[in-house]
Amino acid sequence: MSAPAPQITYDDFVKVDIRVGQIMRTEDFPEARKPAIKLWIDFGDDIGVKKSSAQITKHYKPQLLMGKQVLAVVNFPPRQIADFMSEVLVLGVPDDEGEVILLKPEQYAPLGGRMF
């Protein structure tokens, strides 16, 4: 069992901008150190399409992710992963083996909708 996370304030929480996006394009990412998939995610008119590298190859195949909605943090600074600039952090939780299961809205949500 892991230690509890440090407490934060509500003001800390609202700084994290978590939005709904739709996966529009995918590619295998063999250049990454750990197996990953490149994602292009549409967050609607205000944010646009952003890229992400996600270590989700255990449960997901690139072609089957097309059109799926996901939740992602959109206000982290971009991060270079091999030759790819990851602009958002797609959110997930670990399964029993520590492999990522993506977080997504239960029903269709408008692109760019902010989690609160």
Q: Where are the domains of the chain?
A: 14-102
**Tokens 């997930």 label which residue?**
92
Class for domain 14-102, per CATH?
A: mainly beta
> Cβ neighbours of residue 38 under 8 Å, at least 6 residues apart?
26, 27, 28, 29, 51, 52, 53, 84
Average pLDDT value for the chain: 96
20-59 tens-digit pLDDT: 999 999 999 999 999 999 999 999 999 999 999 999 999 9
Which alpha helices (DSSP H) does the chain contain, by range? 10-14, 62-65
pTM exceeds 0.85 for this model? yes
**Phi then psi for 10, rounded to 5 degrees?**
-60, -40
